[in-house]
Amino acid sequence: MKRSNKIIEISGVRVIGKELQITKSGKHAGKKYWILLITCETQPEIRKVCVLDDCIGTSGEVGAEKIMNEVEKSNYVDKRYLFYLYKRMVYGGFKWDLAGWKELENKN
């Protein structure tokens, strides 16, 4: 499972839910991670983003520790984001890994 080095930006993201998962294989086997269920204005085909604490990079304005805290406590409700994502190849397709985020102002 190889991750792309290219980071893409998607904006107008709203997190609508989350699921706790446990990795089954690879270097993160047995580790817990979150899957954010999102809606996105710019790329609606992206609906899920994986959040592993040691995979979050330095993209955006917010550090990995704060992002994980916000995700675990569900402090993302009614907020909009610019997400920085890596594309990771997995068996049968690919997944999106969160590299960082920046909170956007809410549209009124």
| The two three-digit tokens of residue 3, written as one number | 């991750």
CATH code, 3-104: 2.40.50
pLDDT means per 10 residues in the chain (108 residues)?
A: 75 90 81 90 91 79 84 85 88 84 80
Domain ranges of the chain: 3-104
pLDDT of residue 107: 66
pLDDT of residue 47: 93
Beta-bridged to residue 22, according to DSSP, are: 32
pTM, to two decimals? 0.81
| DSSP classification of residue 54 | T
Query: What is the amino acid identity at position 70?
Result: E
pLDDT of residue 37: 93
How many whole angstroms separate alpha carbon 102 and alpha carbon 11? 9
Query: Which residues in 23-79 belong to E strands, given as ranges?
Result: 32-40, 48-51, 59-60
pLDDT of residue 83: 93
